[in-house]
Amino acid sequence: MIVTENKEMICENLKRSSDGELCFADMPLSPLAEKYGTPLYLYDEARVRHNCRVYLDAVREGFGEDARVMYASKAASFKQLYRIIKEEGLGVDVVSCGEIYTAHLAGFPLQNAYFHSNNKTDDDIDFAISHGVGCFVVDNAEELFAIDKIAAKHGIRQKIMLRITPGIDPHTYAAVATGKVDSKFGSAIETGQAKAITSLALTFDNLELTGFHCHVGSQIFDAEVYLATSKVMLGFVNDMERELGFICRDLDIGGGLGVRYIESQPTLDIKATVLKVGEEMKKEVARLGIALPRISLEPGRSIVADAGLTLYTVGTVKRIPGYKTYVSVDGGMTDNPRFALYGSPYTILPVFDDESIPRESCSVVGRCCESGDILQENVPMPTDIERGDLLACLTTGAYHYSMASNYNRIPRPPVVMLKDGESYVAVKRESLEDIVGLDV
Which residues are catalytically annotated?
A: 369
Residue 329 near residue 37, CB atoms below 8 Å:
no
Residue 18 near residue 4, CB atoms below 8 Å:
yes
SS3 15: strand
Residue 186 near residue 232, CB atoms below 8 Å:
no
Q: What is the dihedral of CA 50, 55, 61, 62, to 10 degrees?
A: 160
SS3 282: helix
Residue 134, CA distances (Å) to 85, 105, 329 in order? 16, 16, 43
Residue spans of beta strands (DSSP E) within 231-275:
250-252
- Largest Cα–Cα distance in the chain? 72
SS3 137: strand
> Which of 184, 138, 295 minimizes the C-alpha distance to 230?
295
The helix or strand, by DSSP H or E, that contains position 376, with its residue range, turns out to be: strand 374-382
Residue 206 near residue 153, CB atoms below 8 Å:
no
* Beta-strand relationship, 250-252 and 207-213: parallel
Residue 124, CA distances (Å) to 100, 186, 190 in order? 10, 18, 30
- Give the C-alpha separation, 181 to 187, whole Å: 8
- Give the C-alpha separation, 194 to 187, whole Å: 5
- Number of Cβ within 10 Å of residue 388's Cβ equals 8
Handedness of CA 226, 229, 235, 236 (dihedral sign): negative
SS3 383: coil
Residue 248 near residue 212, CB atoms below 8 Å:
yes
